[in-house]
């Protein structure tokens, strides 16, 4: 389809960050985006929350012409149009909820040939005008959300969805259908009603059961990585680092330890980088110590391990990076180190970035999700899959299944922390809250009159580092969230309310709190 186009279309990976502000594809997205962009008929089954919309929005931007999106959910369409417009994409919706001005603006954009994405409700298909309009508008792709609505046996049957097949035939364009309903019968019915031949079907669970998941708090990071690698001598592996300088130092340390290792980052000459890629691909047992720049083009099935010397940027980036291991299905190991300095570094990176405020708080959210995974209380794989919308049983192949952490009832501490937040109107960050809890007088506690609060000093018996670990776990459990617009002031979330009211209890991990005691104090 794109062949013969004279416009240089931006690459999907580039659009992913420039338009959508994401640093990595979620599981399954890259393959689907590629197939849809190439103009294949696609049926993709992804769990709710897995990120289906991106799988048609991104191809819509890298293809010529207009993409029409059929969706039964008016509120969702309006949200998406708003978000796309804010990102500078020409998108519109024709729904019963439109004002007249909105509708005429959409028509104008269509007439001018500017619109890239047009959302329509299925009811629209009943009028003959829609087909004519889409033809005139150079429609080149149909995307169908909630495709199971075409199934007459399902709960969500929408008679108008039966018209989609006819529309596709009339326009003679590729069609991409998305649903979270995975049962084989519905799938078969969708394929029969929407497509002529067989669509390319994408149905993967996100689980990669052959990959062992393991996190460790940073203690002596270099020693931790060296001993992980030493236990896997002669196997191909990748070590991801947060900075370029670190890749060189760590690669040398590995060589000194008798490994074949080299470094890789975007600051190297192109032929130097290619040389590392080729060696990694062809040699057995090479370790590449790299920044995130390494991996996109790597297609090596027998990478036996991936280690993170520094905490990745988000849970998506984590999944993508560990996912490079064990593509051959044989057992593969991973290790991710995390420490207070990483958390600070990643937060700062987000805050100092150029993204608009909503995007920054979404980035903080994705980082929090990763921190939650780092300090998960039960099976790590369950926590990871839950984030991507899948349910699972304890896996038996992660560090937490192997050695379940000791939990303790932390209801009292958590209630103290929450009440300190509320008493200070949710306007302060962790450092100040700990001062209030411990009754540590500072200029700020005096200036705001916080020394007169009933919560002043109620947590004096708990050392500062333990309070930090408690707040971190509360963040991981999503009881509190840092407010990006207010320099990390903590806000309470809904699940925290019953705890504050004394209706629910909460457990935290003992080990990370004990360990916090032994580590040097960190500023927050
Ligand atoms: P679905 O339609 O599958 O339920 P959405 O398309 O609404 O899911 O996406 C769910 C959430 O995931 C949205 O908040 C979206 O911004 C986010 N998301 C999608 N893709 C990515 C990605 N690659 N990285 C980070 N977040 C993503
Ligand atoms: Zn597990």
| Nearest residue to 178 via CA among 30, 339, 11, 45 | 45
49 Cβ below 6 A of ligand 1: yes
Q: Which atom of ligand 1 is nearest to the CA of 180?
A: 3
Please give the pLDDT value at position 514: 72
Please give the pLDDT value at position 199: 95
Q: Which atom of ligand 1 is nearest to the CA of 46?
A: 3
Please give the pLDDT value at position 521: 42
Report how far residue 376's alpha carbon sits from residue 24's, in angstroms, rounded to the nearest whole number.
22
Distance, first Cα to last Cα, the chain: 52
pLDDT tens digits in sequence order for the chain, 524 residues long? 333 344 456 778 888 988 898 989 988 899 999 999 999 999 999 877 788 999 999 999 999 999 999 998 888 888 899 999 999 999 999 988 888 898 899 989 988 889 999 999 999 998 878 888 898 889 999 999 999 999 887 778 899 999 999 999 999 999 999 998 767 788 889 999 999 889 999 987 788 999 999 999 888 999 999 999 999 999 999 999 999 999 999 999 999 999 999 999 999 999 999 999 999 999 999 999 999 989 876 879 899 999 999 999 888 889 989 999 998 889 999 999 998 788 878 888 888 888 887 777 778 778 878 988 998 999 999 989 888 777 889 999 999 999 999 999 999 999 999 999 999 999 998 889 999 999 999 999 999 999 999 999 999 999 998 998 898 888 778 788 777 566 668 889 898 999 999 999 999 998 777 765 554 444 33
Q: What angle do CA 374, 300, 393 make, to 5 degrees?
A: 40
Please give the pLDDT value at position 487: 64
Choose which residue among 52, 53, 60, 361 to substitute to test ligand 1 binding: the one with the highest number of ligand atoms within 8 A of its C-beta.
53
| Nearest residue to 144 via CA among 161, 166, 126, 130 | 161
Both tokens assigned to 444:
């700020």
What is the pTM assigned to this prediction?
0.73
20 Cβ below 6 A of ligand 1: no
51 Cβ below 6 A of ligand 1: yes
Both tokens assigned to 331:
């057992």
Distance 398 CA to ligand 2 centre (A): 4
Choose which residue among 30, 51, 82 to substitute to test ligand 1 binding: the one with the highest number of ligand atoms within 8 A of its C-beta.
51
Residue 53 makes CB contacts below 8 A (sequence gap 6+) with 80, 145
- Ligand 1, atom 9, residue with closest C-alpha: 51
CA 127 to chain centre: 39
Sign of the Cα pseudo-torsion (418, 423, 425, 431, in order): negative
DSSP structure string for 212-237: EB-EEE-SSHHHHHHHHHHTTTTS-E
Partnered with residue 178 across adjacent β-strands are: 44
Distance 53 CA to ligand 1 centre (A): 7
Q: Under DSSP, is residue 320 helix (H, G, I), strand (E, B) or coil?
A: helix
228 Cβ below 6 A of ligand 1: no
Please give the pLDDT value at position 2: 36
By 3-state DSSP, what share of the chain in percent is helix, strand and coil, each rounded to 5?
A: 45, 15, 40
Please give the pLDDT value at position 3: 38
Contact status, residue 300 vs residue 309, Cβ threshold 8 Å: no
25 Cβ below 6 A of ligand 1: yes
| Nearest residue to 127 via CA among 160, 159, 174 | 160
Burial profile 452-473: b = 16 or more Cβ within 10 angstroms, e = fewer: ebebbbbbeebbbbbbbbbbbb
Both tokens assigned to 416:
């103290």
- Ligand 1, atom 19, residue with closest C-alpha: 51
Query: What angle, 0 to 180 degrees and rounded to 10, lies between the N-to-C axes of helices 52-62 and 74-86?
Result: 50
CA 409 to chain centre: 30
Overall size of the chain counted in residues: 524
DSSP structure string for 391-409: -----SSBHHHHSPPPEEE
Partnered with residue 216 across adjacent β-strands are: 337
Choose which residue among 25, 54, 57, 314 to substitute to test ligand 1 binding: the one with the highest number of ligand atoms within 8 A of its C-beta.
54
Q: Which atom of ligand 1 is nearest to the CA of 16?
A: 23
Report how far residue 183's alpha carbon sits from residue 10's, in angstroms, rounded to the nearest whole number.
36
ipTM over cut 0.90? yes
Q: Which atom of ligand 1 is nearest to the CA of 23?
A: 24
Q: Under DSSP, is residue 296 helix (H, G, I), strand (E, B) or coil?
A: coil
CA 431 to chain centre: 28
Q: Which atom of ligand 1 is nearest to the CA of 24?
A: 23
Residue 459 is given by DSSP the state T
54 Cβ below 6 A of ligand 1: yes
Please give the pLDDT value at position 520: 47
């Amino acid at each position: 389809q794109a062949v013969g186009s004279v416009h240089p279309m931006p690459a999907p990976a580039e659009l992913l960050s420039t338009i959508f502000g994401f640093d990595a594809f979620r599981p399954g997205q890259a393959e689907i985006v590629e197939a849809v962009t190439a103009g294949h008929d696609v049926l993709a089954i992804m769990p709710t929350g897995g990120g289906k919309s991106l799988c048609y929005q991104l191809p819509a931007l890298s293809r010529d012409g207009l993409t029409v999106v059929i969706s039964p959910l008016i509120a969702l369409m309006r949200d998406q149009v708003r978000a796309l417009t804010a990102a500078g994409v020409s998108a519109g919706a024709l729904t019963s909820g439109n004002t007249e001005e909105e509708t005429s603006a959409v028509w104008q954009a269509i007439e001018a040939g500017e619109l890239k994405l047009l959302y329509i409700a299925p009811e629209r298909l009943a009028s003959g005008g829609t087909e004519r309009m889409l033809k005139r508008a150079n429609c080149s792709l149909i995307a169908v959300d909630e495709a199971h609505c075409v199934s007459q046996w399902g709960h969500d049957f929408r008679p108008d969805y039966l018209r989609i097949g006819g529309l596709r035939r009339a326009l003679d364009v590729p069609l991409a259908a998305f649903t979270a309903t995975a049962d084989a019968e519905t799938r078969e019915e969708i394929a029969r009603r929407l497509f002529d031949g067989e669509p390319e079907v994408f149905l993967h669970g996100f689980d990669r059961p052959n990959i062992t998941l393991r996190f460790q708090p940073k203690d002596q990071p270099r020693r931790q990585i060296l001993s992980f690698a030493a236990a896997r001598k002669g196997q191909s592996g990748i070590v991801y680092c947060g900075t370029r300088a670190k890749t060189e130092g760590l690669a040398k340390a590995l060589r000194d330890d008798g490994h074949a290792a080299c470094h890789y980052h975007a600051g190297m000459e192109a032929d130097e980088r290619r040389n590392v890629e080729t060696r990694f691909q062809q040699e057995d047992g090479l370790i590449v110590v790299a920044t995130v720049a390494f991996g996109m083009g790597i297609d090596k099935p027998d990478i036996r391990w991936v280690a993170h010397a520094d905490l990745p940027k988000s849970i998506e980036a984590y999944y993508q990076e560990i996912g490079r291991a064990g593509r051959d299905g044989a057992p593969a190991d991973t290790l991710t180190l995390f420490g207070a300095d990483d958390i600070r570094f990643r937060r700062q990176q987000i805050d100092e970035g150029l993204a608009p405020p909503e995007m920054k708080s979404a980035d903080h959210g994705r980082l929090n999700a990763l921190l939650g995974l780092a300090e998960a209380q039960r099976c790590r794989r369950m926590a990871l899959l839950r984030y991507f919308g899948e349910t699972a049983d304890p896996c038996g192949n992660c560090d937490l299944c192997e050695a379940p952490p000791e939990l303790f009832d932390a209801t009292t501490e958590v209630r103290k922390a929450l009440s300190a937040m509320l008493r200070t109107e949710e306007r302060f960050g962790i450092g100040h809250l700990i001062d209030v809890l411990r009754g540590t007088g500072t200029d700020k506690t005096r200036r705001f009159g916080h020394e007169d609060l009933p919560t002043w000093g109620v947590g004096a018996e708990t050392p500062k580092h333990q309070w930090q670990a408690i707040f971190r776990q509360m963040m991981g459990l999503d009881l509190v969230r840092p407010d990006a617009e207010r320099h990390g002031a903590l806000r309470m979330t809904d699940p925290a309310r019953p705890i504050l009211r004394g209706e629910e209890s909460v457990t935290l991990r003992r080990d990370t709190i004990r360990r916090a005691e032994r580590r040097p104090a960190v500023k927050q």
